[in-house]
Amino acid sequence: MNRLQGKVAIVTGAASGIGLGAARRFAQEGARVVLADLNGEGARREADSLCAAGAQAVAVTVDLGDETSIRAMIDFTLKTFGGLDVLFNNAAATHLSQFKDSPVEQMDTQVWDDTLRINLRGCMLASRMAIAPMRQGGGGSIINTSSGSAQAGALGYSAYAVSKAGIEALTRYIATQHGKEGIRCNAISPGLIVTPATEQGYAGPAGQMMLEHHLTPRLGSVEDIASAALYLASDEAAFVTGQVINVDGGLLAHQPYYADERRAMAIAQE
Ligand SMILES: NC(=O)c1ccc[n+]([C@@H]2O[C@H](COP(=O)([O-])OP(=O)(O)OC[C@H]3O[C@@H](n4cnc5c(N)ncnc54)[C@H](O)[C@@H]3O)[C@@H](O)[C@H]2O)c1
């Protein structure tokens, strides 16, 4: 409890999934939280329920594809809470990556542009606008959200993967340029986390296939990522910056033939 006491935190994409889990966790730990989402109604509902439980939380509608809207989110935060200590850049256009993104050869240029505009440019703009108030407050923590898809190839969602790879580079650049001002910047790279964005797609055999490639007995939960974000947001991570932290059940830690090998060994043992 109280690991974020006195801090002001913005969580983008806080109406759903990982962002909502992190917003709840930040609030439980004493932060004053701004739940920012394109789905402003959902964010408001969740902020109200946090307030009913005794937390300090407000909601704001934001479109991370729009610079003016991001400016309004930052200004609203400064006006409401008087500063900014933590920015969790969590939102992504998951509706595009799930339903419209594709292999490169079939790539729709508009989908490519929209994905990079919302995921990567949105993350850069929110970070850019957060830096001055963080500096004024003596420092801060920017937490970005990558994905395993930035680190290894896959058959689809190329635009999403490239946007996340850009976010990893952006993380190191912000950390390098602002570390001496007490501003840390790290990224979390989640494995398969069961959220509204993923639960349908991975409910059946696809989920089983993914589980076989994680080293853990289960897939990830929203709480797994919220815990990592809480650590990076808190002063406990004062010496951690410029890092991409895989919170992925070891998904990218093993040899590519790991699942095949396990299957082969099980067959050999029979
Ligand atoms: N769930 C996973 O398995 C997984 C794995 C790797 C990375 N991630 C990353 O974690 C983050 C959260 O994923 P999730 O599974 O919780 O997704 P989600 O779809 O449940 O939540 C995303 C939220 O972002 C909001 N959003 C979408 N477009 C927006 C915009 N233009 N402006 C503002 N808000 C917008 C949505 O309204 C939604 O509330 C994303 O960055 C995603 O890429 C998730």
Q: What is the pLDDT of residues 117-151, one digit of tens each?
A: 999 999 999 999 999 999 999 999 999 999 999 99
pLDDT in tens, 6-18: 999 999 999 999 9
Q: Is 257 a catalytic residue?
A: no
Atom of ligand 1 nearest to the CA of 89: 41
Least confident residue range of 79-83, 97-101, 253-257, 265-269: 265-269
Q: Is the Cβ atom of 190 under 6 angstroms away from ligand 1?
A: yes
- Section 31-43 average pLDDT: 98
pLDDT at 239 over 60: yes
pLDDT at 269 over 70: no
Give residue 265 CA to ligand 1 midpoint distance, Å.
37
Residue 240 Cα distances to 103, 171, 184, 194, angstroms: 35, 12, 7, 27
Question: Residue 140 is encoded by which pair of tokens?
Answer: 């801060």
263 lies in some domain: yes
- Arithmetic mean of pLDDT over the chain: 96
149 lies in some domain: yes
Q: pLDDT tier at 268 (50, 70, 90 boundaries)?
A: low
Q: Is the Cβ atom of 118 under 6 angstroms away from ligand 1?
A: yes
Q: How far apart are CA 140 and CA 134, in angstroms?
A: 5
How many domains in the chain? 1
Q: What is the pTM of this model?
A: 0.98
Residue 200 is predicted with a pLDDT of: 82
15 lies in some domain: yes
Give residue 89 CA to ligand 1 midpoint distance, Å.
10
Atom of ligand 1 nearest to the CA of 192: 3
Read off the CATH number of the domain in which 29 is found: 3.40.50.720
3 lies in some domain: no
pLDDT at 270 over 80: no
Q: Which domain holds residue 257?
A: 8-269
243 lies in some domain: yes
Q: Is the Cβ atom of 37 under 6 angstroms away from ligand 1?
A: yes
- Section 142-167 average pLDDT: 97
2 lies in some domain: no
93 lies in some domain: yes
1 lies in some domain: no
For ligand 1, mutation pick of 20, 34, 94 (most atoms within 8 Å of CB):
94
Q: Is the Cβ atom of 166 under 6 angstroms away from ligand 1?
A: no
